[in-house]
Amino acid sequence: DQQVKQNSPSLSVQEGRISILNCDYTNSMFDYFLWYKKYPAEGPTFLISISSIKDKNEDGRFTVFLNKSAKHLSLHIVPSQPGDSAVYFCAASAVIIQGAQKLVFGQGTRLTINP
Amino acid sequence: NAGVMQNPRHLVRRRGQEARLRCSPMKGHSHVYWYRQLPEEGLKFMVYLQKENIIDESGMPKERFSAEFPKEGPSILRIQQVVRGDSAAYFCASSPFSGTDTQYFGPGTRLTVL
């Protein structure tokens, strides 16, 4: 039962262009969404998050869009840089049991930025 | 300000042995989460702990796995009688509060069972 899905296992983008990573979810109880970036042999690094009361959140080159009716979110990176090459994970949570934030992760999308 | 620390970074065990994974949360963080990542998969929640309390262990296998977060010292994830299927990367995360606070991850422990 995959509640959070990233249907593209990989994505290749030219340096300077926009990278768009997509994520779909099935559980309507999810109310908080995050994107993490992961390099090999390291832990995930937090990038950006969005609450279900918003439809957009921006932080520098990173913007996350949330479409609740479609249960879809996307991460836009512009302009893309070689250092952005990594695996990107989408994660979602619903506040349960004393506010525990159990994160449910997608399978990840490997982003490669070509010079 | 040190981040989340995990040790060891790599652990090799033979089938039937015990594995102990340690996690020191970020300073000021009292909430600890453990996740497991199998090859080519996303991270899967295992357990959520506060000091001296297990809050949610719904993702932890019922047998052989246990976790603790004592009043003093790091959080420990313990796997008894390891099997080859336990080979994975185990990540610890911490947050200052629960709810919508961001979780910050450690570098992970890569467990290999021979």
Q: Mean pLDDT of all residues in chain A? A: 92
Smallest CA–CA separation between B7 and chain A, in Å? 13
State whether the Cα torsion A96-B106-A91-B46 is positive or negative: negative
Which of these, B21, B18, B12, B37, lies nearest to B80 by C-alpha position?
Answer: B18
pLDDT higher than 80, residue A19 = yes
Question: How do residues B22-51 score in pLDDT, each as one tens digit?
Answer: 999 998 888 999 999 998 788 999 999 998
Question: In a 3-state reduction of DSSP, which class is residue B86?
Answer: helix
Quick one: pLDDT at residue B42?
A: 87
Q: What is the mean pLDDT of residues A4-32?
A: 95
Selected residue with higher pLDDT from A101 and B25: B25
Work out the pLDDT band at A83, boundaries 50, 70, 90: very high
What spatial distance separates the first Cα and last Cα of chain A, rounded to whole Å? Answer: 38
CB contact under 8 A, A34 and B41: no
Question: Mutation test of the interface with chain B: which of A31, A36, A52, A102, choosing the one with the most B Cβ atoms within 10 A?
Answer: A102
Question: How do residues B66-112 score in pLDDT, each as one tens digit?
Answer: 999 999 999 999 999 999 999 999 999 998 876 557 889 999 999 99
Exposed / middle / buried, residue A90 (Cβ in 10 Å: 0-12, 13-18, 19+)? buried
pLDDT higher than 70, residue A82 = yes
Amino acid at residue number B70: P
- Say if B43 is an interface residue toward chain A (CB within 8 Å): yes
Closest CB to B42: pick one of A34, A93, A107.
A107
Closest CB to A97: pick one of B55, B93, B107.
B55
Closest CB to A100: pick one of B41, B56, B108.
B56
Quick one: pLDDT at residue B39?
A: 82
pLDDT higher than 90, residue B2 = no
Closest CB to A49: pick one of B44, B95, B102.
B102
Q: Longest C-alpha distance within chain B, in Å?
A: 39
Quick one: pLDDT at residue A93?
A: 87
Quick one: pLDDT at residue B98?
A: 62
**Mean pLDDT: which of A37-41, A69-73, B102-106 is highest?**
A69-73
CB contact under 8 A, B99 and A41: no
Selected residue with higher pLDDT from A90 and B39: A90
Q: Mean pLDDT of all residues in chain B? A: 92
CB contact under 8 A, B55 and A98: yes
- Say if A65 is an interface residue toward chain B (CB within 8 Å): no
Q: What percent of chain A has pLDDT over 70?
A: 94
Amino acid at residue number A84: D
Smallest CA–CA separation between A34 and chain B, in Å? 8
